[in-house]
Structure 1
């Protein structure tokens, strides 16, 4: 993830739109996510409103104890056209990119 820019007024709520730019497979991707569900401290579901392929990203948070929270990230997508051929490779690369992003988030929060 390279950048994120609000497309609708804050605060985050169902219907909010955020434009993201990222590099993936040496290409710049630009897409807009729309918030489909938001339960503060528990769940966030975003779906692409505009972008190279349909995608849904789900974040969940669960308290483990007073000092620890488990965050779960899940991406679902349906490649279209030519990208269908590369779906298994793209899936593997997305997992790797997600792990990298999550490590960065963890470092920032700690």
Structure 2
């Protein structure tokens, strides 16, 4: 089981951060390992929406579909793989520090069956490293837009 939680402070109002992060169309812009995101259901994002992602992690090409399990605009987004080699739940949470600063938390939990148990400690370290890069990228994008 992998459980990786990372957060960052972004100098932007919570609404701007949450709207950008919760839009799957932006995922390839700020996720280091995500190459594409394709809607499987109609927009806008809501519970039960499905988005297909193509990514690359630890030298493997991954294709998976996330289904939205919980969505509270401006507060929380929970999505879970509907299929794929890497059963995973990803949670975004946004917290307003003040009117112009937001704390964004990114958490990944799952049991990657496509990888051996021996790889779990390395996977956690690599996921944490990737998540930090992702959050630094979204911070850079939002603070400079």
Q: Does 1:18 align with 2:69?
A: no
Residue pair 2:48, 2:67 contacting (<8 A) in 1 also? yes
Q: Mind listing any 5+ residue stretches in structure 2 that lack a counterpart?
A: 1-33
Q: Does 1:59 align with 2:92?
A: yes
Between stretches 19-28 and 63-72, larger displacement belongs to: 19-28
After superposition, what is the alpha-carbon deviation per residue over 1:38-77, rounded to whole angstroms, capped at 9, x for unaligned?
0000000000001112100011001000101111011101
Q: Does 1:44 align with 2:77?
A: yes
With normalisation by structure 2, the TM-score equals 0.72
Distance 1:81 1:66, change over 3 A: closer
Residue pair 2:66, 2:79 contacting (<8 A) in 1 also? yes
- 1:78 is matched with 111
Q: Does 1:29 align with 2:62?
A: yes
* Misfit runs of 4+, over 6 Å: none
1:83 Cα deviation after fit: 2.3
C-alpha RMSD of matched pairs (Å): 1.2
**In structure 2, distance between residues paired with 1:51 and 1:101:** 21
Residue pair 2:85, 2:114 contacting (<8 A) in 1 also? no
Aligned residue-pair number: 110
Distance 1:3 1:74, change over 3 A: same
Distance 1:41 1:22, change over 3 A: same
**In structure 2, distance between residues paired with 1:82 and 1:106:** 30
**In structure 2, distance between residues paired with 1:82 and 1:34:** 22
**In structure 2, distance between residues paired with 1:2 and 1:81:** 19
